[in-house]
Homo-oligomer: A and B are copies of this chain.
Amino acid sequence: MSAIDPVHLAGLVRRGDLRGLARALTVVENGGPEASVLMHKLYDPSPASRSVGLTGPPGAGKSSLADVLIAHWKSRGRRPGVIAVDPSSPFSGGAILGDRLRMQRHACDPDVFIRSMGSRGHIGGLASSTAQAAEVLAAGGFDPVLIETVGVGQGEIEVVSVADLTVLVLVPGLGDDVQMMKAGIMEIGDLIVLNKADRPGMDQLETVVRASLEFVREGRPVPQVVKCSVATGEGLEDLFSKLDDLLSSGRDFEAVRRGRVRENLLRVAAEQGTRFALELLERSYGIEKAVDMVLAGETTPYEIGERIAALSGRAPV
């Protein structure tokens, strides 16, 4: 792919050019100054598009749910975007979610934009890249933008927390782990979907989930709970209506905007800082030379870190 001026690319995205959109997402994934210029041009502190984070443990049925949500939004004349966040390890290349079976039927639809994000690179973290990709899709006219993860864990929570709303999908059979997840995870779900309602153990799961809602801290919204079965369709209308209410009027997005802008600023600053420190490490020691010194017992990574901090501190402000 030839180099492309990020200002021109921003214009293509705003006009809804799909090839431009795909290129813009690649620029975001690659990071660097081009991504900064592109994102600066596309930035909107008050976007019309909403984003929805979708998380839950493996096997909870997140991709099936994503599929029915896409079909639902399409039937209402909306143009949903999807960012499927790939759980592959830092060692593995590329995105493997392209072949998510259940979403494939939307792959050739110009009114649905699906993009996988791999974990490689992303110097500021996958959450930062995901937030930027969601901003690109919003600028390209996709609404809502669904941010789907495969796992449920610290990284996934960070990823989905960049969204306006989060949906947590749970199923019976998670054992003790659901107990352990509750304190933290219940706080991120605006909507908790109890999927596979026909499975044994649903009553017990519902009891645990409802009990845990008491732990939601004061001042935070108490998540709504919906029981459904994506496989049979049971309860889906209720889910659609609750989610669409939340998206349209059920939540005071103005009130949370300040917090989201602050988080965005801190993410971008942290990304720049990380980039700078790694450059400083390379320039002042050379990474391999520093490794040699540590292996020879001449210094430690922590001493080198302090030295980098001291060098950074000399920057005039």
A residues near B (Cβ < 8 Å) are 33, 36-37, 39-40, 43, 45, 57-59, 61-63, 85-92, 96-97, 100-102, 119, 125-126, 149-159, 161, 173-178, 180-181, 183-185, 187-188, 217, 220, 257-258, 261-262, 264-278, 280-281, 283-284, 287-288, 290-291, 294-295, 297, 300-306, 308-309, 311-317
This protein's copies in its complex: 2
| A154 smallest CB distance to B (angstroms) | 3
B315 & A96 in contact (Cβ 8 Å cutoff): no
Contact of A301 among B265, B273, B277, B315 (CB under 8 A): B265
With a CB–CB cut-off of 8 A, which chain B residues contact A187? 89, 91-92
Contact of A156 among B153, B258, B270, B303 (CB under 8 A): B153
Nearest chain B residue, comparing its CB with the CB of A305: B268
B268 & A304 in contact (Cβ 8 Å cutoff): yes
With a CB–CB cut-off of 8 A, which chain B residues contact A185? 87-89
Nearest chain B residue, comparing its CB with the CB of A132: B302
Contact of A159 among B97, B119, B154 (CB under 8 A): B154
B58 & A272 in contact (Cβ 8 Å cutoff): no
A270 & B261 in contact (Cβ 8 Å cutoff): no
Q: Which of A156, A161, A265: most chain B Cβ within 10 A?
A: A265
